Amino acid sequence: MRSEIRFLLNGEEQSVKAINPDTTLLNWLRLIKMLTGTKEGCGEGDCGACTVVVADLNQSGQLIYKAVNACILFLPMLDGLSITTVEALRRSDGALHPVQAAIVEGHGAQCGFCTPGFVMSLYAGYENSMADNRHNIQQILSGNLCRCTGYGALIDAGLSAARHCPSASEHEADLSRRKIEYEYLQRAQDDKAMLSIETSEQAFYAPRELSELASLTRKYPDATFLAGATDIGLWVTKQHRQINRFIYLGRVNALKTISRTDDRVTVGAAVTHAEAMAALATDFEGLAEVWQRFGSAQVRYSGTVAGNIANGSPIGDMSPCFLALGAELTLNHAGKRRQLALDAFFISYGKQDRKQGEFIEAIRLPRLGSKEAVHAYKISKRFDQDISAVLMAVWIRRDGQLISDIRIGFGGMAATPARAYRLEQVLKGHDVEQPLPDAAVSALAEDFQPISDMRASSAYRLLVAENLLRKMLIEVSQDNGVKRLYPSSLPPAPDVPKAITMTMIEAGE
């Protein structure tokens, strides 16, 4: 057990002691280290001005780079990782990094406030060998807002930088930096000591083993479980709440895995959206659009799939999808496990079937059979980084043209994510070549009486849901299999980085 936070900052080892555990990385960088290139904008993970890049080793021991929002990450969460800020990009010989040079040459900066965030997002893409593809660059920049330059010049700069991504002729300084990061991260992984920070008002624990986690939950049942901080971070930065005790799940290796059997996929509690999106792309291709539209690249790199379910938000995007799939949760209470169907987890607004001190250990997803498919649709005012007005996900099994079984999950239609049970009964046995029956419209209105708010009116939500059902039937009747937003020939999204191995570093690849 140790009390100091250790990490790499711009290639130099740091050891931080006697600090409040809810200190954000952004505040520490700006107020303590005086690294003011990282800007403070929204303070809630939306604008991207605070973007920095975190390097880590994946489950295979390969080096990966992630653009993250420094404004909502607590400093202890960076223990054992490597952080790069915009100040470190300029080369030792005074030359600009290729990403910086591309933005300058392409006139991609005016007022300059948001520019460091754009630079760091593109830098993460650069290190992950981003594709020279406009959709790919747009995805990389989905979490960065610009109000003066506009995105045309910045996207063009990203395309230009993509043509100079790491190769055999990579700059010597970059190769040296990657080697330093890789070796440091390997040493950090070998350090099995649990981080334990205790001040007069707060405490933060980062166990490495499930047994340590179970012991902590028995001792501190009132602790707040923390994973990606994309939600809890806002409790501190926007609601100014003081959380007395954190138990951080992000360093428990057993919770960071995705495993498969013949009939199930199991996703650990600390698996991020980016990791799940990459690993489950072939298992549940129909969820691709929802994942690509989930938050931003920065949010997907930090936020966890289990966290999006655990907070029980009625507009959480993954819950309706997993309701449709028939997901089951593994809940852990001080080492004692129980299985619970996801549709039994949500009780009412802000209330779930979860005891004090109990956490989601894993999510179990049934794999699709040969006659089964999943379709998911998100309706929001913006394509990227926006909260759903309505989200509908459908799991369907067909017997020829007839629907033999169906599950439909909705978000934004009730106080919790919810199944449309009456609607499902009406659609069982329906011929997909036939129009949506009137009985289905009536059943939908019986299942849900949505509220009106700033995102959509009640009538709009019901009408959109009805039309999404029609859209789904058309797609199924045309035998499209699963819905693809983009052609399958496109390169991987930026959330599927090319992992960098030590051999590649030494070879300059």
Report pLDDT digits (tens) over 4-39. Answer: 999 999 999 999 998 999 999 999 999 999 999 999
The torsion defined by the Cα of 412, 415, 416 and 417, in degrees rounded to 10, comes to -30
Quick one: pLDDT at residue 176? 86
Six-digit token pair at 29? 């960088």
Alpha helices in 128-256 (DSSP H): 134-140, 151-162, 172-190, 210-219, 232-237
> What mean pLDDT is predicted for residues 425-446?
96
Hunting for tokens 């406009």 — which residue is that? 134
DSSP classification of residue 31: I
| Position 494 confidence tier, pLDDT thresholds 50, 70, 90 | very low
CA of 155: how far to CAs of 66, 70, 152, 173, 298, in Å? Answer: 19, 23, 5, 26, 17
Q: 101: domain CATH number?
A: 3.10.20.30
- Structural domain that includes position 172: 5-190
Hunting for tokens 């439909």 — which residue is that? 408
pLDDT at 243 over 60: yes
Top pLDDT among 147 and 290 is at: 290
Query: Does residue 487 sit within a domain?
Result: no
Strand order in the sheet with 402-411: 372-379, 390-399, 402-411, 418-419
Query: Does residue 210 sit within a domain?
Result: no
Of 174, 190, 206, which one is at a domain's C-terminal end? Answer: 190
Tell me the per-residue pLDDT of 44-73, one tens digit each, with 9 for 90 and over. Answer: 999 999 999 999 998 888 899 999 999 999
Interatomic CA distance for residues 405 and 397, integer angstroms = 5
Quick one: pLDDT at residue 179? 92
pLDDT at 500 over 80: no
| Position 165 confidence tier, pLDDT thresholds 50, 70, 90 | confident
Tell me the per-residue pLDDT of 336-383, one tens digit each, with 9 for 90 and over. Answer: 999 999 999 999 998 999 999 999 999 999 999 999 999 999 999 988
Six-digit token pair at 270? 């600390």
Of 190, 220, 240, which one is at a domain's C-terminal end? Answer: 190
**Looking at this protein, which amino acid is placed at residue 34?**
M
Half-sphere exposure in the Cβ direction for 103 (13 Å, CA)? 22
Phi–psi pair at 83, nearest 5 degrees: -115, 135
Query: Does residue 343 sit within a domain?
Result: no
Query: Does residue 352 sit within a domain?
Result: no
Q: 408: domain CATH number?
A: 3.30.390.50
Of 157, 190, 223, which one is at a domain's C-terminal end? Answer: 190
Q: Which residues contact 276 (CB under 8 A, 6 or more apart)?
A: 258, 267, 291, 305
Query: Does residue 58 sit within a domain?
Result: yes
Alpha helices in 66-171 (DSSP H): 98-105, 115-127, 134-140, 151-162
Quick one: pLDDT at residue 487? 37
Quick one: pLDDT at residue 170? 66
Query: Does residue 148 sit within a domain?
Result: yes
pLDDT at 482 over 70: no
Interatomic CA distance for residues 492 and 297, integer angstroms = 13
Query: Does residue 86 sit within a domain?
Result: yes
Q: Which residues contact 218 (CB under 8 A, 6 or more apart)?
A: 334, 335, 357
Quick one: pLDDT at residue 167? 57
Tell me the per-residue pLDDT of 298-309, one tens digit each, with 9 for 90 and over. Answer: 999 999 999 999
Interatomic CA distance for residues 125 and 223, integer angstroms = 36
Top pLDDT among 60 and 263 is at: 263
Top pLDDT among 212 and 482 is at: 212
Q: How high does pLDDT run on average in the chain? A: 90
Quick one: pLDDT at residue 91? 79
The torsion defined by the Cα of 409, 378, 475 and 447, in degrees rounded to 10, comes to 30
pLDDT at 505 over 80: no
| Position 489 confidence tier, pLDDT thresholds 50, 70, 90 | very low
Quick one: pLDDT at residue 292? 87
Please say whether the beta carbons of 227 and 250 come within 8 A: yes
Tell me the per-residue pLDDT of 210-220, one tens digit each, with 9 for 90 and over. Answer: 999 999 999 99
Strands 82-84 and 51-57, how do they pair?
antiparallel
Tell me the per-residue pLDDT of 169-215, one tens digit each, with 9 for 90 and over. Answer: 467 777 888 999 999 999 999 999 999 999 999 999 999 999 999 99
Quick one: pLDDT at residue 13? 96
From the list 378, 371, 365, 363, the residue with the least C-alpha distance to 288 is 378
| Position 490 confidence tier, pLDDT thresholds 50, 70, 90 | very low
Tell me the per-residue pLDDT of 104-150, one tens digit each, with 9 for 90 and over. Answer: 999 988 888 999 999 999 999 999 989 889 999 999 999 999 878 78
Quote helix, strand, coil % in the chain, to nearest 5.
35, 20, 45
> What mean pLDDT is predicted for residues 211-238?
95
pLDDT exceeding 90 applies to what percent of the chain? 79
Query: Does residue 506 sit within a domain?
Result: no
pLDDT at 433 over 90: yes
Quick one: pLDDT at residue 149? 78
Handedness of CA 418, 422, 425, 426 (dihedral sign): negative
| Total number of domains constituting the chain | 2
Interatomic CA distance for residues 298 and 51, integer angstroms = 8
